[in-house]
Structure 1
């Protein structure tokens, strides 16, 4: 498991892969797209597993939302990930630290790639962007919006997905998921809770890594996934 500052991911992961070690690298996969591609190439050349630690993929609330909307036409996705400034941060802003989670969720839920990016960034209390409003359009027509910052004094992690038949809301911290459906002509609608199993996301992530190693199957979050997420985040930063 490589969990160092981003700038070291490529060199360390590359050396491990070339030595025959299977690698789970924390998100974002690397500091640059070129570094990410170098890691992907090293994994292929040495027939090793390279998995990226996008832990929200394994959040049971995200899994519940995906089950709830599978087979339906998604219209829009809204994600809010805000909270106070984390003293541990030293090298990156909210886009790389936080929004990369949500870029991955959007791609995961839609099975489509982000083709248009409209970012609004602000620096209010830090030397890097600490507030970001990010709008996206995906290849399949879905629109998405991420609100993220380090200026809210309390944590919020919410995911909202609108489809042609329902509206699904998830709290990614409490794992509570609610589905609104069957809207009537008078504006009323029905609601129901969606089962969200009490799994520990980090444990599920490690189990998925071990499964890929044992079976030779494609890992749940591939190096290519990590590269795509990084590409979008860097586009948001104008890089």
Structure 2
């Protein structure tokens, strides 16, 4: 049976614990704060598989799931990869593209699985949108728009852009099968924390074989409610997707702009609710990690996907500082 070590039982780590415990694996848990190990005990994990020092289990497991503060991702992942272990690490893979590249190359050198927690790739709604875009159902994708906002406690290990906007940076790369050529960003620090943005707006320009696709990402900690929305606007079809919805997340619209003489007419077409299976994306991506360990198949969200997202956000940071659009190589 595959042996997995979960590192970190904070807010998101608790969700990893619940899902990993439901998978056919032998689960070990490490959490520096001994009190946070209580949920693992309540699930029935034996004391022999719980620790406050992850090194106790380093030699016993096949892989690690790293759900710790972003600043710790690089040294922890490097240690596990060098020890010959497969690694799942929550996003962002690291806080710099240099470190992300080093980890990814290390994983390749050691023939290890390195999967990054870009969870939206594993949502059935995202899968449908990606397949529809790639198969041409939308025609030319003119715009992608997203909103990841809601009133909640700000994270302490990174700003809003690295914590939440990164979700849609990766998802749009996944949809289009490429990375943007130009990035423009506006970052705000309304709470006055100094080095951590709490609201951001990203503008990404992708060059595709059908022309320009403009993508925008809005995130903040202030908007009442909880928004996880993505829109796809194409020349033949458009779609609204609520990733918060338990089912029927996507509604499509066969709307078109039709030119008549020197003017355009807005023609509203039929709308349709797309049925997708109800599946918890976190459970799906963790199951995919276990499958990759057992089959040695490359993960859907590998180290290079994590690297590209961080590289784009570094360009966004430069843009926010200079007020200029940054062109990516």
Which TM class, normalised by the smaller chain length?
over 0.9
- Count of paired positions: 238
- Compute the RMSD of aligned alpha carbons: 1.7
Q: Could you tell me which residue of structure 2 aligns to residue 160 of structure 1?
A: 231
**C-alpha separation in 2, matches of 1:48 and 1:193:** 41
**C-alpha separation in 2, matches of 1:186 and 1:85:** 39
Contact 2:238 2:255 in 1 (8 A): no
User: Could you report, residue by residue, the CA deviation over 1:128-174 in whole angstroms, capped at 9, with x for unpaired residues?
Assistant: 21111110101322110001111112111110001121001100100
**C-alpha separation in 1, matches of 2:276 and 2:190:** 36
TM-score by length of 2: 0.69
Q: Deviation of residue 182 (structure 1)?
A: 5.3
Q: Could you tell me which residue of structure 2 aligns to residue 190 of structure 1?
A: 270
Asked if 1:177 corresponds to 2:234, the answer is no
Query: What are the ranges of 5 or more consecutive residues in structure 1 without an aligned counterpart?
Result: none
Q: Could you tell me which residue of structure 1 aligns to residue 28 of structure 2?
A: none
Structure of higher CA gyration radius: 2
Asked if 1:151 corresponds to 2:215, the answer is no
Choose which of 191, 200, 219 in structure 2 pairs with 1:132: 200
Pair 1:213–1:147, CA change in 2 (3 A):
same
Q: Deviation of residue 186 (structure 1)?
A: 6.8
Q: Could you tell me which residue of structure 2 aligns to residue 232 of structure 1?
A: 312
Query: Larger deviation: 109-118 or 212-221?
Result: 212-221
Q: Could you tell me which residue of structure 1 aligns to residue 78 of structure 2?
A: 14
**C-alpha separation in 2, matches of 1:70 and 1:106:** 12
Query: Larger deviation: 60-69 or 48-57?
Result: 60-69
Q: What is the correspondence of 1:12-161 to structure 2 with a 5 Å cutoff?
A: 12-72=76-136, 73-87=140-154, 89-127=155-193, 128-140=196-208, 141-161=212-232
Q: Deviation of residue 91 (structure 1)?
A: 2.4
Q: Deviation of residue 201 (structure 1)?
A: 0.3
